[in-house]
Structure 1
């Protein structure tokens, strides 16, 4: 019995202790809730001091302080700052040589400045309350710097490197060949260096985003080994003359242009499948590149222009190409007949729309030798490995299909004395023609094919008749006769008009 009573007493005491513990725990929880609520209120009041629509203090994008700005204001400020950055210069070095460009020329821009501004505006505004509090509190001690996210325009950067930097490298040198007596002299190739454009662009972008202090700067461009495209062993097969042609080089200023064009083409090597554009090889046509003003065709007239005569260079080469039986890709006749070759054997060059282009259709390299020799003959000779059948030869025959004689056109010249006659223009007969390729085997004709058809416009003789006089009646008399385009009527009107003028001067 006593034992049972002790058990009951012990059980009641345990229950009392448990009730006290629950009460104490409840009080502790209540206190914690009260304290937490107070802390939350304190934190909330702290973070709420920063206006929701403005960026927190001590936040930078790059070196630009955007604190207290709205997102719109921050974006506008960054655009203004970008304009300042774009005006700065970068010095690109290759070895001990260098070239400059503005960052605008390289196409400097932001990858996504709007996203960066959003990040700046959201700092201290998003996430759990304690996180926001910690972020804003931290800005009191240390500024937050966000990267601008600079990028370059790949095409603009490549254009600048190609134009200004690529030439600074010690590039590979192709093997070359020259005619020497009865044989050929081959000069061995050399390896070199070229600018690694992609790696250089990446290096500049990395610098802009990681270390740039928003001042002009220098960068050492990335380079890589460059192999020569033509090697000495490639040229060992060049032993035979494939074809040649010459025209008389004449003299005067025009001769200088022929010599300049010849020198630019001389020594050209075309590997199998390579193409040559005479325009691209010889242009630009200006004084800086060795050309002078000389006669050329323009709108049916002969006028002086830089590079006048370059068409004779392309024409002479065209015929050498025909005899070499290379593949002609593009060829155009002149607007009017030329004197140095038969119709349909010419090849005009004009602007970027008339060109002579051809391709090395052999399986081995060809070499173009060009010169104006001691007899003043402009000659092109094409060498290579002749794989044509022994005894096979080719000739080219020009056939005139139609002819149209030029006429005479009378024009008034108000600045010339009444009745005076001046000849101008460049009279040319019009023609249509075609060129035949005739193949012979051991002297016997085996084929005849049309190579091209050409049309040459006629160009009339221009005769300018003066009408300058104080006698309006006399001037009108000649003017009406000019409109008739009748020589007899014009001659008669001139005689009558001079009589009127003479009578007036005598007081009649």
Structure 2
């Protein structure tokens, strides 16, 4: 029995030695094979490496770079053509877009397969690449100047976007009638444009030829239409607000007349919020406004639309008199004389797009129709609100004016654009003050809205420009 055990041990030892020798020979042969293969891969990309779906294994970096250079050359000649309603409206050239491929970066990453600085990764990549056990895929990307595309689409929106227009109405002989049909708006579908644009860029990788992108626009439905005219519930005048614009320069009168016309016939649906800026729209020379004095960045300067705040102030007063919730209102930086022609300080409202804004809630039982009037002889602007009274009680306290401060001394600044001896006043003095009044609206014993309006007006100095030119 003992000799049999020795035989088993001997056999096991022989097999172990044979296995070890076999493995050793295998690793020696494998190592030699890899070494021999690597000799032929000096400066070349390892096998089974693909760029954009093409096998670049065994190629020199310079060869692949030359292929990408040729691709980039073709890329430089392509155009992206933009059409809208079957008409070409723009051609974006590769040069303008700065189209270019990130080929150099991708080639370098492909070349590093089998050459990793991490030992285990390097060996793994060598074996899987040489024996084609794993496929290494890399994809180039075409980059472009996104600012150019953003500028283009913003220009397109300015040119082709058209806001929907609500129907406008008037109140005559105890009933509401229309004087402007509603109009649908248009809005360029920018999301689809960018999707199509990115798809065109990706397709340049496969085929660098001209691409055409068709712009599309979505219809914007107006919120208020003529078909709803019988559902408004408007029965009577519920409130009026007025302001006196005496001493306004002609440009200011032009602007407040134009701005107030935007509100004539506007409807505030029941339970909806009114935004003054939304109705007013763009205020600029392009929309017909003239330069007049405005408050901007702490100074009184000439700017398009000076006088618009006379309109927002008048609407604010009408809303107070109607007992409507005032959701947002901002006082002017300093006391403006126009708003105290017929009122105590604190009953003004400044606006500037996008903010500050004047926002009001219609919480009455019916829609509210705004109608505006200008009395050119008496220099009075009126906002009349038509709707349905619900018995609400409105309390507006007397204004309390405190902390009055005199204006600082006048400031004289040299102006080389004016001749010597010429003095021009560009800012006007105003006393500083804190103006406060209390506003409460109730129905029976229930208070529906209550707010204390506080306006802090800075003391304002006069500014004169003194000519220094010969």
What is the Cα deviation at residue 347 of structure 1?
0.9
Taking the aligned partners of 1:86 and 1:273, their CA distance within structure 2 comes to 57
Work out which of the residue numbers 238, 245, 252 in structure 1 matches 2:241. Answer: 245
Which runs of 5 or more residues in structure 2 are unaligned? Answer: 1-28, 115-124, 416-420
What is the Cα deviation at residue 128 of structure 1?
7.1
Task: State yes or no: 1:164 paired with 2:156.
Answer: yes
Task: From the superposition, tell whether residues 97 and 387 of structure 1 become closer, same or farther in structure 2 (CA, over 3 Å).
Answer: farther
> Per-residue CA shift, 1:203-236, capped at 9, x if unaligned?
3333333367545532113555654444444453
- More helix as a share of residues: 1
Query: In the alignment, which residue of structure 2 is the partner of 1:452?
Result: 453
Task: From the superposition, tell whether residues 202 and 426 of structure 1 become closer, same or farther in structure 2 (CA, over 3 Å).
Answer: closer
Task: From the superposition, tell whether residues 328 and 159 of structure 1 become closer, same or farther in structure 2 (CA, over 3 Å).
Answer: farther
CA RMSD after TM alignment: 5.7
Query: In the alignment, which residue of structure 2 is the partner of 1:399?
Result: 399
Is the contact between residue 349 and residue 358 of structure 2 (CA under 8 Å) also seen in structure 1? yes
Q: Number of residue pairs matched? A: 402
Query: In the alignment, which residue of structure 2 is the partner of 1:208?
Result: 201
Task: From the superposition, tell whether residues 464 and 49 of structure 1 become closer, same or farther in structure 2 (CA, over 3 Å).
Answer: closer
> Per-residue CA shift, 1:117-136, capped at 9, x if unaligned?
7468869987576869xx9x
Is the contact between residue 432 and residue 460 of structure 2 (CA under 8 Å) also seen in structure 1? yes
Task: State yes or no: 1:356 paired with 2:350.
Answer: no
Query: In the alignment, which residue of structure 2 is the partner of 1:429?
Result: 431
What is the Cα deviation at residue 180 of structure 1?
5.6
Taking the aligned partners of 1:195 and 1:237, their CA distance within structure 2 comes to 32
Is the contact between residue 269 and residue 367 of structure 2 (CA under 8 Å) also seen in structure 1? yes
What is the Cα deviation at residue 319 of structure 1?
1.0
Query: In the alignment, which residue of structure 2 is the partner of 1:304?
Result: 302
Task: State yes or no: 1:379 paired with 2:399.
Answer: no
Task: From the superposition, tell whether residues 85 and 393 of structure 1 become closer, same or farther in structure 2 (CA, over 3 Å).
Answer: farther
Residues 334-345 of structure 1: pairs in structure 2 closer than 5 A: 334-339=332-337, 340=339, 341-345=343-347
Query: In the alignment, which residue of structure 2 is the partner of 1:32?
Result: none
Is the contact between residue 147 and residue 209 of structure 1 (CA under 8 Å) also seen in structure 2? no
Is the contact between residue 241 and residue 382 of structure 2 (CA under 8 Å) also seen in structure 1? yes
> Per-residue CA shift, 1:321-348, capped at 9, x if unaligned?
2223333222122233233332111112
Residues 225-244 of structure 1: pairs in structure 2 closer than 5 A: 227-238=221-232, 239-240=234-235, 241-244=237-240
Work out which of the residue numbers 73, 78, 94 in structure 1 matches 2:84. Answer: 94
Is the contact between residue 364 and residue 390 of structure 2 (CA under 8 Å) also seen in structure 1? no
Taking the aligned partners of 1:282 and 1:88, their CA distance within structure 2 comes to 44
Tell me the TM-score normalised to structure 1 length: 0.58
Is the contact between residue 412 and residue 465 of structure 2 (CA under 8 Å) also seen in structure 1? yes
What is the Cα deviation at residue 85 of structure 1?
6.2
Query: In the alignment, which residue of structure 2 is the partner of 1:474?
Result: none
Secondary structure of the residue aligned to 1:206 is helix
Task: From the superposition, tell whether residues 249 and 401 of structure 1 become closer, same or farther in structure 2 (CA, over 3 Å).
Answer: closer
Is the contact between residue 402 and residue 433 of structure 2 (CA under 8 Å) also seen in structure 1? yes
Query: In the alignment, which residue of structure 2 is the partner of 1:221?
Result: 215
Taking the aligned partners of 2:77 and 2:385, their CA distance within structure 1 comes to 51
Taking the aligned partners of 2:147 and 2:230, their CA distance within structure 1 comes to 40
Task: From the superposition, tell whether residues 197 and 441 of structure 1 become closer, same or farther in structure 2 (CA, over 3 Å).
Answer: closer
Work out which of the residue numbers 289, 293, 296 in structure 2 matches 1:295. Answer: 293
Taking the aligned partners of 1:321 and 1:366, their CA distance within structure 2 comes to 11
What is the Cα deviation at residue 106 of structure 1?
9.1
Task: From the superposition, tell whether residues 109 and 211 of structure 1 become closer, same or farther in structure 2 (CA, over 3 Å).
Answer: closer
Taking the aligned partners of 1:324 and 1:154, their CA distance within structure 2 comes to 50
> Per-residue CA shift, 1:448-486, capped at 9, x if unaligned?
9654122333446689999xxxxxxxxxxxxxxxxxxxx
Taking the aligned partners of 1:119 and 1:462, their CA distance within structure 2 comes to 69
Residues 18-37 of structure 1: pairs in structure 2 closer than 5 A: none
Residues 100-119 of structure 1: pairs in structure 2 closer than 5 A: 100=90, 118=109
Query: In the alignment, which residue of structure 2 is the partner of 1:261?
Result: 259
What is the Cα deviation at residue 401 of structure 1?
3.1
Is the contact between residue 182 and residue 222 of structure 2 (CA under 8 Å) also seen in structure 1? yes
Which runs of 5 or more residues in structure 1 are unaligned? Answer: 1-36, 136-144, 467-508
Taking the aligned partners of 1:105 and 1:274, their CA distance within structure 2 comes to 47
Taking the aligned partners of 2:189 and 2:299, their CA distance within structure 1 comes to 49
Taking the aligned partners of 1:282 and 1:410, their CA distance within structure 2 comes to 35
What is the Cα deviation at residue 381 of structure 1?
2.8
Is the contact between residue 75 and residue 100 of structure 2 (CA under 8 Å) also seen in structure 1? no
